[in-house]
């Protein structure tokens, strides 16, 4: 393999990791990212519930759980050590809260606050933090598909275990 050179004698090929562009902007590649920070207030809660799902979407089963651990890799500093991503569906009365003037993001944040409540001296899902969400139509109604970060690697309420 031969090295290609430009007209001015510089080596041509892939730019370095910290490439300086001619416009003066510097792009840094391979940074670790934190989960998006959503402002949460402990007093603001909206009652909601996690929708039970089967282990495999195309096979009916008698046992159902309320979410599953994501098997994808996420760009989190604590991913695989103390942060594990959980995928779930949240069901709540979206229209009622929209009519009150609450945005979709605030509704989802308040639902996560509600799920973080302690029941009988423990949190059933661990310490949840919102990572991302999407409004979808499934099960004949509009629900929220949500990605949350939890500190529990293995929880009996979710299918699978946290990815390392």
The DSSP annotation for the chain comes to -PPPB-TTSPBPSSPPSEEEPTTS-EEE-S---PPP-----TT-----EEPPB-SSTTS--S--BSEEE--S----TTBTTTBEEEEEEEE--HHHHHHTT--HHHHHHHHHHHHT--BTTB-TT-S-EEEEEEEEEETTEEEEEEEEEES-S--TTEES----
Query: What confidence tens digit (pLDDT) does each residue in 104-132 have?
Result: 999 999 999 999 988 877 889 989 999 99
Q: Domain segments of the chain: what residues? A: 49-159
- Give residue 27's pLDDT band: very low, low, confident or very high (50, 70, 90): very low
According to the model, what pLDDT value does residue 32 have?
Answer: 52
According to the model, what pLDDT value does residue 51 have?
Answer: 93
Average pLDDT over residues 8-20: 66
pTM for the model stands at 0.70
Average pLDDT over residues 91-102: 94
């Amino acid at each position: 393999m031969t090295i290609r050179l430009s007209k001015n004698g510089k080596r041509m090929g892939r730019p370095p990791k910290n490439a300086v562009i001619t416009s003066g902007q510097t792009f840094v590649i391979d940074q670790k990212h934190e989960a998006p920070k959503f402002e949460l207030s402990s007093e603001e809660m909206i009652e909601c519930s996690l929708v039970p799902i089967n282990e495999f979407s195309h096979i009916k089963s008698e046992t159902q759980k309320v979410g599953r651990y994501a098997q994808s890799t996420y760009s989190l500093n604590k991913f695989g050590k103390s942060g594990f991503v959980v995928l779930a569906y949240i069901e709540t009365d979206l229209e009622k809260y929209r009519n009150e003037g609450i945005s979709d993001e605030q509704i989802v944040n308040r639902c996560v606050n509600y799920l973080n409540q302690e029941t009988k001296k423990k949190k059933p899902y661990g310490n949840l933090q919102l990572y991302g969400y999407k409004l979808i139509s499934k099960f004949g109604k509009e629900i929220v598909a949500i990605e949350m970060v939890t500190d529990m690697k293995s929880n009996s309420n979710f299918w699978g275990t946290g990815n390392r």
